Amino acid sequence: MYNLIVFASGNGTTLQSIIDAIQNKKLEANILLVVSNNPNAFALERAKKANIPTYVIKEKTSDKIDEELYNVLSNLDVDLIVLAGYLKLIGKRLISNYKIINTHPSLLPKYGGKGMYGMNVHRAVVEAKEEFTGVTLHYVNSEYDRGPIIKQTIVKVLPEDTAEDVSAKVQAVEKIQLVEALQEFSKEKNNSNSK
């Protein structure tokens, strides 16, 4: 079985798409833990409803968060960490010990970096009158949205689209792209285990 840890800071719609894919047998994986820096994140409720253990980060500074999470995760058999709307920078210890991916709501390198998440990205895309935007799935390194790109999906932006319209389009393809990538990771693991 392919073991995931999901980090989320907010509503958890991306987490829900992973849960649904597992429950609908579209993804052979197991979410070992949902981690959040926000004790009020609805993602935690989604996890509890699906009987997935949750963990709320206690520390406040980056270095201490890195150490805290490493200590929590080191006891688990983790194949992949998925950042699904997680708004904190990942520390060096986690990066050097785990494969970590992030889904970002733009075609990186455009509209990435600190503070560029959710509606901030979609408003910037609309204000710049971009013809296209999309979703980027990338590996995580020590800089916001700078890791190697795994996959991108393009979304057409119509002249009359609002930031909310763009958000809805992007979220729809984001969930599909992420689940497809997770299916690939799971297949790769199964193939290497069967050799």
Q: Which residues are catalytic?
A: 104
CA 109-110-115 angle, to 5 degrees, is 95
Q: Are strands 2-7 and 29-36 parallel, antiparallel or unpaired?
A: parallel
In the block, which residue shows the tokens 């969930």?
A: 175
Q: Left, alpha or beta for 177 (phi > 0: left; psi -120 to 50: alpha)?
A: alpha
Could you give the CA distance from residue 128 to residue 14 in angstroms, rounded to a whole number?
A: 26
- Quote helix, strand, coil % in the chain, to nearest 5: 40, 20, 40
